[in-house]
A and B are shown apart, each in its own frame.
Chain A
């Protein structure tokens, strides 16, 4: 592998990995506050993709968009992706999980509900939006932005990397520096004590879902700009992002970021060396290996520890 190849693959891996990182945040936040593996998060991601595509299909005319229009379209897509992702996550918590929490249902019931909600949502999406992929309207001409060591970074890649960095910094700030964040960390550490200290657990849980949903939705739209939007698109990225959250240390926000990036890079280099058929073999072999030596993930569990 030449130096140039290395940079090419590094960029591909970083783009993929930053998407995984953003999705992984959704898994890890919810796990932090509820110890719940929210498998329906992959469907929040999928819905975000549809939100962006549908909004753009309605608003983007067929003509070639110019500079300012392009920016408006991208923002529109991000906005609708986030809105739909956040809304679905909000109702998911309200309809599927809150009643179980009220009745003190066992952990296993939550897990099965999560899987059921995931099946329900993606099949509903298949009914509503069709089973064919939806093409993303052209928002801009995908030109090269910069060239680093002979490797090019195009607009879509720059957009994904940029948006991911902004979101990751923002979520880190929210969790560590805001009132909501201290609520999330308090509930994660000990829900009962947090409740005694005046933290409204229901509110914190609901907002945690929405926070994860907003990011998942944007990730869905960004994923759609570089790949395709279809009703089962959540499955593989969702599972991989979940693995990333575990790899980094589930419940740990910075761990999820690190885990996502790691898996993205491992995938890209695996494909480069062994071909596309080995993509997930490489990534998940690394997951198993890391967990063998560090069962709590690279950075360890729990939201509270990052504080």
Chain B
């Protein structure tokens, strides 16, 4: 028989130790004001996005892109200054966005920010960054309204959802869809995208039924039933992969055999992984991001990324890499005189030939290019079907 007193003391201690050791394994990403490397100064590039929470995978893909850009820059020897990384976790939630932004702003080494990653969080954090004159270059926040509100330092490095919505409508017309159920998650990004899709489908003469599936829904049977009852040809889910996966599972359980399509928030290997039993098979995914396997620049990036992280680049990894690289080049161009305001000016007016695309912005901070791509889940892999313009013909 164990001594009761020892058990009483040892147990909380053991549990506490377990908890602490678990904390210790976290690689943090906390701020580091690195010492001067070589002759030039040292600057920190921050990233704000979901590093935890249900949609962390999307955020971590981007964080890895930013980290890789910083590593490449520091190792290349092409730059007179060195760069450090600071991660700010907002869980992808508007409620956490301000404090994440404040963490970044308060660190005086930070020269510019890649992010915020999600539209809802960007909508809250962009004015805060604006006040601090800190560039917020988002590689992924696609809600059209973001550039309409005059945020002084917000830049968007991706085609917005107005374009994605139009492309999805074109794609459905070419697939002969007559009725579509459009489901959003009541968040900024999903509602924005769903509205645009609905407008464009309406315009194309396709009947639309709008449904709402709140982001924290735990039971997806009812919404799947609603879809089945609607006798629709196509379902569009405009939220993120963590909800899309159980939705796909319930739809396949109930025998749905029409088209399933998710936006860029669903285009993540985790979507396929979480939709167990192959429920994601055949789903289309639209994304303002091109397929990297098409050319050498993309392949080279993929190889470097895989060598570093032991996994393939995710959605927006290359876009985040490009955003960080553009900032790095701007800082380098400005040299030691670089400060937050001058970096913003240089980036906003500059042009950067990146891995994914050429980045430049109009006077509202909107991405100046275009291009929406369709992907499809095939045998458990997300494969590219090409640019929508080419698909529709």
| A residues apposed to B, CB below 8 Å | 5, 8-9, 12, 15-16, 91, 94-95, 99, 120, 124, 126-128, 131-133, 135-138, 141-142, 154, 156, 223, 226-228, 230, 232-233, 236-237, 267-268, 271-272, 275-277, 279
Contacts and interface: CB of A to CB of B under 8 A. Distances in A.
Contact of B218 (A91, A227, A271): A227
Nearest first, the 7 closest Cβ-Cβ pairs linking A and B are A127-B22, A271-B222, A135-B276, A277-B212, A131-B52, A138-B277, A12-B221
B366 interface: no
A174 B217 CA distance: 34
A114 B19 CA distance: 18
Contact of A132 (B220, B270, B275, B276): B270
A226 B221 contact: yes
Question: Interface on chain A toward B: helix, strand, loop, or mixed SS?
Answer: helix
B214 A131 contact: no
Contacts of B218: 223, 227-228, 233, 236-237
Given A12-B225, A120-B19, A226-B219, 13 more contacts: A15-B221, A124-B22, A131-B56, A132-B57, A133-B274, A135-B276, A138-B276, A142-B277, A156-B253, A227-B218, A272-B222, A276-B213, A277-B214
B94 interface: no
Interface string B1-32: 00000001001100100110011011000000
Interface of B: 8, 11-12, 15, 18-19, 22-23, 25-26, 52-54, 56-57, 186, 211-214, 216-223, 225-226, 229, 242, 245-246, 253, 270, 273-277
B11 A127 contact: no
Contacts, number: 98
B211 A228 contact: no
Contact of A136 (B12, B219, B276): B276
Nearest to B12: A95
A94 B11 contact: yes
A232 B91 CA distance: 13
Contacts of B212: 275-277
A127 B216 CA distance: 20
B153 to A, nearest CB: 30
A276 B54 contact: no
15 contacts: A5-B229, A12-B222, A16-B221, A124-B19, A132-B270, A135-B245, A138-B276, A228-B242, A228-B245, A228-B246, A230-B54, A236-B218, A237-B218, A275-B212, A279-B217
A279 B214 CA distance: 9
Residue of A141, A154, A228, A272 with highest tally of chain B CB at under 10 A:
A228
B262 to A, nearest CB: 16
Contacts of B276: 135-138
Nearest to A91: B11
A276 B222 contact: yes
Most chain-A Cβ atoms within 10 A of its Cβ — which of B8, B18, B219, B229? Answer: B219
